[in-house]
Amino acid sequence: MRDYFALTKPRVTWLILLSTAIGYFLAATRFGWTAATFWHCMIGTALLASGTAALNQWYERDADAKMHRTQMRPIPAGLIPAGYAFWFGMALIVAGSAELWLGANRLTALLGLFTTASYLLMYTPLKRVSPHSTTVGAVPGAMPPLIGYAAAAGLINIEAMLLFAILFLWQFPHFYAIAWMYREDYERAGIRMLPVVEPDGASTASRIFWLSLALVPLSLLPGLFGYTGPVYLVGAQIAGFGFAFFCSRVLEERSRQRARQVLLTSVIYLPVLYAFLVADRAIR
């Protein structure tokens, strides 16, 4: 069971669920709260995310076997047969889709299925073809807030799309940092991440900084549309400029240590931003 649990990438799934819960919370404060719908949304999203992770590892099992950081995953390590992993992932996706459709609403289930399909059928195979896979992958990566919002509201509006846009842009510094840290692994596996295609890292460092800086005004747009108040606006600026500061350091030194700092800061930034969103809405 431990090996099957590892297939679901629980450390990634918790962040997906956090983003989904934020979307649900913001919608619920405007359209009404139903505890049963919330838990159906969380369970269904967890099942879909877990199934997607399992099928992704099934698809990339040969590449995972070539990379040091992934060669001990359950499939390349021989702990779970590839066929078992495939059907395990499919079962989770079917269960998650049914949970969202029956427990929340049809729109939520369709958004969840789109997320899974775009991740597995577009992003995953594109990783071996082009560094633009990061841009494609950022679309399903930014879907969780929309799923949560749709579960509570039954619709998608500007507020939901702003959440999507913030999470979409946040992913670029986050994943470029990961790609820089493990560029030798990615090259060995034939995965064409940006640091593999441009080994000097100048373009990667530049994108990490400028996109993190662009995240600051983007994160303030909910206030411009009247969805947030001063608590969030002040907190978003502090968190945003703090994140951009650590991202700026990769311009001075393109090293694994600097990339790791960006990665850790990005993982801190997102929950902090969410905390300001929740605090601001709760106060208002």
Q: Which amino acid is at 81?
A: P
For tokens 């195979």, name the residue. 125
pLDDT by residue (tens digit) across 13-48?
999 999 999 999 999 998 988 999 999 999 999 999
As a whole number, the mean pLDDT across the chain is 94
- pLDDT tier, 283 (very low <50, low <70, confident <90, very high otherwise): confident
Residue 138 has pLDDT above 90, yes or no: yes
CATH number of 1-156: 1.10.357.140
* Dihedral in degrees, nearest 10, Cα atoms 46, 48, 50, 56: -150
| Structure confidence at residue 284 (pLDDT) | 77
Q: What is the mean pLDDT of residues 91-108?
A: 96
Residue 89 has pLDDT above 80, yes or no: yes
Q: What is the mean pLDDT of residues 241-266?
A: 93
| Structure confidence at residue 199 (pLDDT) | 86
- pLDDT tier, 160 (very low <50, low <70, confident <90, very high otherwise): very high
| Structure confidence at residue 233 (pLDDT) | 95
**Residues 19 and 145 sit within 8 Å (Cβ to Cβ):** yes
| Structure confidence at residue 212 (pLDDT) | 96
Q: Is CATH 1.20.950 what the domain over 157-284 is classified as, yes or no? A: no
Q: What is the mean pLDDT of residues 48-70?
A: 94
Per DSSP, the residues of 45-73 read HHHHHHHHHHHHHHHTHHHHHHSTTTTTS
- pLDDT tier, 96 (very low <50, low <70, confident <90, very high otherwise): very high
Length of the chain: 284
Residue 248 has pLDDT above 90, yes or no: yes
| Structure confidence at residue 175 (pLDDT) | 95
Worst-scoring range by mean pLDDT, 47-56, 60-69, 76-85, 150-159? 60-69
pTM of the model: 0.94
Distance, in Å, from the CA atom of 186 to the CA atom of 4, rounded to the nearest integer, reads: 24
pLDDT by residue (tens digit) across 78-88?
999 999 999 99
Residue 200 has pLDDT above 90, yes or no: no
Distance, in Å, from the CA atom of 46 to the CA atom of 20, rounded to the nearest integer, reads: 10
Residue 94: other Cβ atoms inside 10 A: 13
Tell me phi and psi for residue 244, to 5 degrees: -65, -35
Radius of gyration over every alpha carbon of the chain, rounded to an integer in angstroms:
19
Could you give the 3-state DSSP secondary structure of residue 190? coil
Q: What is the mean pLDDT of residues 178-205?
A: 90
Portions of the chain given CATH number 1.20.120? 157-284
Portions of the chain given CATH number 1.10.357.140? 1-156
